[in-house]
Amino acid sequence: MINKSSLRYLSLRLCLSLILIGNGFIIFAQTAENQIDQDTVVLKVDLSTETGKMTPAWAWFGGLLGAAYVASTTVLGPRLGAAALLALTLAGQMVAALVVDKYGVVGFPQSAITPARLLGAVLVIAGALLIVRR
């Protein structure tokens, strides 16, 4: 028998999952639109082709990391709340972006971490911490 609190918990998880799936669909649609504009639509990657061989190893981790993100937000979302979850996600992305820019990994050009950029990241992290404190 499902009581009201169990039903509410399940409906919150379902709503969060649907939001994340919708977000993924929007990103997919934008990517597909860019691919269509370039007349190079690729729906299946065959590792034996040149495209498959040229794909860098780090590019294959996107699906794994995406699945881990969806799983963790589904579990942590109801515990943290939507604002805290999204604030912490944004803070983590900001730190990751600074690291990616500094070292120029995954094909991005290298950019120095200037005091202004560092202050911006610190303010984002401080805002996330204030939201988490409630």
Kindly report, residue by residue over 78-111, the tens digit of the pLDDT.
Answer: 888 899 999 999 999 999 899 989 998 877 899 9
The predicted model scores a pTM of 0.57
Inform me whether the pLDDT recorded for 117 exceeds 60: yes
How far from 15 is each of 21, 67, 90, 126, CA to CA, in Å?
Answer: 10, 17, 20, 28
* Residue percentage of the chain with pLDDT more than 90: 25
* Predicted local confidence at residue 105, as pLDDT: 82
* Predicted local confidence at residue 64, as pLDDT: 76
- Between residues 108 and 17, which one has the greater pLDDT? 108
Domain segments of the chain: what residues?
Answer: 81-134
* Predicted local confidence at residue 37, as pLDDT: 47
DSSP H or E segment with residue 115:
helix 115-133
* Predicted local confidence at residue 75, as pLDDT: 85
Q: Residue 121: which pLDDT band, with cuts at 50, 70 and 90? A: very high
- The residue assigned the tokens 């639109």 is 33
Quote the CA–CA distance of 123 and 63 in Å, as a whole number: 30
Q: Are 76 and 17 in contact (CB under 8 A)?
A: no
Q: Are 80 and 132 in contact (CB under 8 A)?
A: yes
Nearest to 11 by CA among 85, 67, 77: 77
- Between residues 115 and 38, which one has the greater pLDDT? 115
